[in-house]
Structure 1
Amino acid sequence: MIHAINFAPELIGCGKYTTELAQFLETRGHVIEIVTAPPHYPGWFVRAPYQKGAYVTEAFGSMRVTRCPMTTKAGAPGLWRLIAPLSFAAAAAPMVAWRIFRFRPNVVICVEPTLMSAPAALIAAKLCGARSLLHVQDLEVDAAFEVGHLNGGTIRRVANIFESWFLARFDRVVTISQKMQHALLAKGLSPQKVSVLRNWVDTAAIVPEPRTTNAFRDELGMPSDAFVVLYAGNLGPKQALDMLIAAARRLEGEYDIYCVIAGAGPMRDALQKQSVDLPNVRFLPLQPAERMSELLALADLHVLTQLKGAADLVLPSKLGGMLARGRPIVATADPGTELFEMLQDIALVTPTGDID
């Protein structure tokens, strides 16, 4: 059983990797059951035809998927980043317990975010004698405070105590980077318990290609010979995309350079307002999987920006697609972070916050 707040048909972020992990395990002969939320990422609103207040059971291939209610608000501002996952965890807990006793799994996988699902996953696994595994895609507690969704020293200390207690109860913990592994060890986990499984990319679907005519250039009204700087992914606070808007403002009128921001998320409206007077900035909605390779081929230069302080709490999943495409990359990362160490020899890396 996999208990995760994100799952298909979400196209990016944790949902993409949880879905592909489930599909891979299924090809290895495992029977998979999913308990998840309605699709809501990256905008934090439930997409039609799903409803945020209903339990729904559906098939995803041969997998049984149970979707549980979640109370959310578009963009999930402030405390909604706490309320939304908490509401899902509370609504999903009885469903997890019921499905555990019907399904009787050998292994229960819980995906962070959200760690709020951990109590139900741990209790259910214990009751049916299953092994428990936590897949950490995001150091959720630390990131919430670093980005500013939550604040207060006392609240953070209490949150860290609960986090460490739940982490220690899983049989195994898997995360996506060495720095995140080190952070988990610093929270009291033993090295024998924590492993690294990096996120992946389908190199058969996204391959290096020569620069050719691209349909997106026509859709966006750009010259065929324009130089395109592309960001594609979640438009959230952690991505610090105001830096890209500031850079585009500096380049306005100087060169035939366009900045394209493709995706969705809570910062999209603010970014569009910041750039409303910039003719060299274009926006695209989140693209379906079948157009992702074409979208990445639009770029002459990929850009990867990060908020200072959050760099080692997450590892951007979009990086795999950028590298597979084989185009130049500019990234913001500070020395000592894992992103800096990964990219320093293969990309242009600048300090976080530096638009020069």
Structure 2
Amino acid sequence: MACLAVLVGLTVVLLWPGHTPPITDASGKVLPGSVAALERVPLNETRQWVLMRGHSERLPVLLFLSGGPGGTEMGWVRAHNAELEKHFIVAVWEQPGVGKSYPLAFTHREHLTLDQYVEDGLALAEYLKRRFHQDKIFLMGHSWGSFLGVWMAQRRPDLFHAYIGVGQMTSTVQDDRLGYRYVLEHARAEGKLELVRKLERQGPPPYSGSLILLRYMTYLNPLTAYEHGLIRRAGGGGGNTFGEMVSLPELRVIDKLYAFLGLIHTFSVVYPQLNERQVDLAQQATDFEVPVYFLIGRHDLNAMASLSERYFERIRAPHKELIWFGRSGHNPNYGCEADLFTRTVIERFRPLAFPSRGPGDPRGSAE
């Protein structure tokens, strides 16, 4: 009986439902008409988790696409960009194979393809439009999510006020080779012979096989360290941690495990598809029917800022704007410029949902 009680107790702990706290006023009372929902919504014959939060159900909707593939950014958005909830209904999608939606990697493995992610994302955009009675919503993609965002905006421009790319990806093969070369050159210059030998032994990306993530991390870990060094020299610092990613009430204990497994398993399934398809947005996705905005950290080495800028220059859109964050790298939305990022999003994009009020001055930089 004792063993059974322990088993039942462990099951309850693992599967105890997550929840999102209500939005309250200064006195602690639930704000009337606010939105605080953590739900599994029906998307293309599956049910996928979405967090939706906003101070009023009448606010414009901002759909956020997390990076990865396999990453959940629900915790980071809640920790660093909570102010957005006063101006938007912020919807954070747990994609198939990611966080709370990780089990879909096994029950609906066919959803772990580039085309199906786009289809699911568009189905979610349609759902949000209907639920909140809006003609269009805003679309923001970060890192891997910026690939999805571009494809979604091009496929269904009628759904979106604008597309906003953060840490905008362009080509995984070019990005990875530039990152590998950057680390190898700096390691040689600094006399890091063990790292040099390891990099030379495995050769440049793209990689494949069951240990694909470990091979990428051989240069991605030091590349991230170099990026942090550039940020510190620019007067920046801080950022996001794995603890922030998982330490929020929306995630059950088992979801925290899913968050870790998604980074390993889903990445290994999805990332090679980008390489196999030879994705290069600067060659393949330059025409848009919606306004396009890139919010880029000046010192981004993960999605090389130089490649993002080159891609931006080739884009044709009704309006486009590149906004630099001078003390940031791949995550201007979570680092020391998170408040500036949030303020920029509020000031630049919320007026687009109310054209009669004017879009504001589209020029300038966040540097």
- Which one has a larger percent helix, Structure 1 or Structure 2? 2
Check whether TM > 0.5: no
Class of the TM-score when normalised by the shorter of the 2 chains = 0.3 to 0.5
Normalization by structure 2: what TM-score?
A: 0.35
Normalization by structure 1: what TM-score?
A: 0.36
